[in-house]
Homo-oligomer: A and B are copies of this chain.
Amino acid sequence: MARIVQKFGGTSVADIERIKNAARRVKREADAGNEVVVVVSAMAGTTNQLVDWTRQISRLHDAREYDVVVASGEQVTAGLMALALQDLGVDARSWLGWQIPLKTDEVHGKARIEAIETAEIERRCKDGQIAVVAGFQGIGPRNRVTTLGRGGSDTSAVALAAALKADRCDIFTDVDGVYTTDPRIVAKARKLGRITYEEMLEMASQGARVLEPRSVAMAMNHRVRLQVLSSFVDAPGTLVVDEDEIVEKRVVSGIAYSRQEAKITVARVADRPGVAAAIFGPLADSAINVDMIVQNVSEDGQTTDLTFTVARADLDRTLAVLEGQRAAIGFTALKPDSNVVKISVIGVGMRSHAGVAKQMFQTLADRGINIQVISTSEIKVSVLIAAEYTELALRALHTAYGLDEVG
């Protein structure tokens, strides 16, 4: 007998029929003799509608009231899922964040989980009752509803799995696993049977939208075995596990891409110590995350160009902040460019395998693709290229690293 947390995302509970379908998945796991705890997202589209209402109603943004409004979506699904399970003859009850309680800090809108009191849920679990937990929500120190931010239901599921010492945490979504790259672009993309936490974290951080980075990091820290799978097909998904659980090691496991990037070149800043701080200090103060940075070699020994990337959604604000600092920084022009894509090859095998970056650069060069910015980490090489080359680059790299489907 195993203890399993099953999390169903918005598309998996988008309407009554899908909730019933998800309930049947839960029942099957329970019928196999396992203890099951279910975590549900809001029905697809609900959260966006609720967020939109809060924006329409007030230019101000009291995150405490925002949380009261948006947390209602998961409340509805939790109740409906409990009813669907009961209709299948399964003993089930819903749990809202404040009922568990799932305690968080007070950072409304993106609260962090501090503690989960699981004693009562565990006791009922042992008695055969299935707990249906409303994802995405908790209770803050002042008895107010909190939410965990984007992808919060994944975080709820992983945190519950950790607290319950679950044997596995299944994340049901609308794709049937983690692929070597986006199969909508690369027809030869393969579903991975297993992937390491570190790789999954990089994949998620670099644009693969199947899991939120925060929930992957939490799973890694607590060694929660994750499975990503589809609620619409009956097949195993991708297991996210420790490196030593993976037998067949690859150098590159996957290729991620992100179109959410924007590049800014700050032209002709003084080539002297402190200029980077003058640029990036104000951006940090404005809570703008800078990703890739490259400082060009000075041609005249006096000025240089500095290029970096930010999230495309932050581009306008970034330009405004820098314009406001023009005198302090000293530059001749800001050159924004949203027509870029970041492509990242990821694999824990890189640690022990040289030449991955070189192969990437050569493959792109062979297709005449110019690399604008490069950044690397221990298990990842990312490049920024013109957006029009996205498909060409992904397919070429997929073949070059031997990821194409066999047969």
Q: Does A128 reach chain B (CB closer than 8 Å)?
A: no
Tell me if A87 and B145 are in contact (CB < 8 A): no
Select which of B59, B68, B82, B93 is within 8 A of A78 by beta carbon: B68
Contact with B along A56-81 (1 / 0, CB 8 A): 11111010111111011101101110
Tell me if B53 and A82 are in contact (CB < 8 A): no
Select which of B54, B64, B98 is within 8 A of A80 by beta carbon: B54
Q: Does A86 reach chain B (CB closer than 8 Å)?
A: yes
Q: Which residues of B contact A83 (CB under 8 A)?
A: 54, 57-58, 60, 62, 65-66, 69
Q: Does A377 reach chain B (CB closer than 8 Å)?
A: no
Q: Does A20 reach chain B (CB closer than 8 Å)?
A: yes
Tell me if B93 and A80 are in contact (CB < 8 A): no
Q: Which residues of B contact A60 (CB under 8 A)?
A: 83, 86-87
Q: Does A50 reach chain B (CB closer than 8 Å)?
A: yes
Q: Does A143 reach chain B (CB closer than 8 Å)?
A: yes
Q: How far is the CA of A92 from the CA of B84 in the complex (A)?
A: 37
Which chain B residue has the least Cβ–Cβ distance from A94? B68
Tell me if B80 and A53 are in contact (CB < 8 A): yes
Q: Which residues of B contact A86 (CB under 8 A)?
A: 58, 60, 62, 65
Tell me if B76 and A80 are in contact (CB < 8 A): no
Q: How far is the CA of A60 from the CA of B80 in the complex (A)?
A: 12
Tell me if B99 and A84 are in contact (CB < 8 A): no
- This protein's copies in its complex: 2
Q: Does A19 reach chain B (CB closer than 8 Å)?
A: yes
Q: In whole Å, how far is A89's beta carbon from the nearest beta carbon of chain B? A: 9
Q: In whole Å, how far is A13's beta carbon from the nearest beta carbon of chain B? A: 11
Select which of B66, B75, B82 is within 8 A of A79 by beta carbon: B66
Select which of B57, B71, B79 is within 8 A of A16 by beta carbon: B57
Q: Does A158 reach chain B (CB closer than 8 Å)?
A: no
Interface residues of A in 30-69 (CB under 8 A from B): 50, 53-54, 56-60, 62, 64-69
Tell me if A16 and B56 are in contact (CB < 8 A): yes
Q: Does A96 reach chain B (CB closer than 8 Å)?
A: yes
Tell me if B76 and A69 are in contact (CB < 8 A): yes
Select which of B59, B62, B72, B98 is within 8 A of A82 by beta carbon: B62
Give the 9 A-B CB pairs with smallest separation, nearest first: A68-B79, A69-B79, A58-B87, A72-B72, A58-B83, A65-B79, A65-B82, A16-B56, A72-B75
Q: Which residues of chain A have a CB within 8 Å of any CB of chain B?
A: 16, 19-20, 50, 53-54, 56-60, 62, 64-69, 71-73, 75-76, 78-80, 82-84, 86-87, 93-94, 96, 98-99, 143-145
Q: List 29 A-B contacts (CB under 8 A).
A: A16-B53, A16-B57, A20-B57, A54-B83, A57-B84, A58-B83, A58-B86, A60-B87, A62-B82, A64-B93, A65-B79, A65-B83, A65-B86, A66-B79, A66-B83, A67-B79, A68-B75, A68-B78, A68-B79, A69-B75, A69-B80, A69-B83, A71-B75, A72-B75, A72-B79, A75-B75, A96-B145, A99-B143, A99-B144
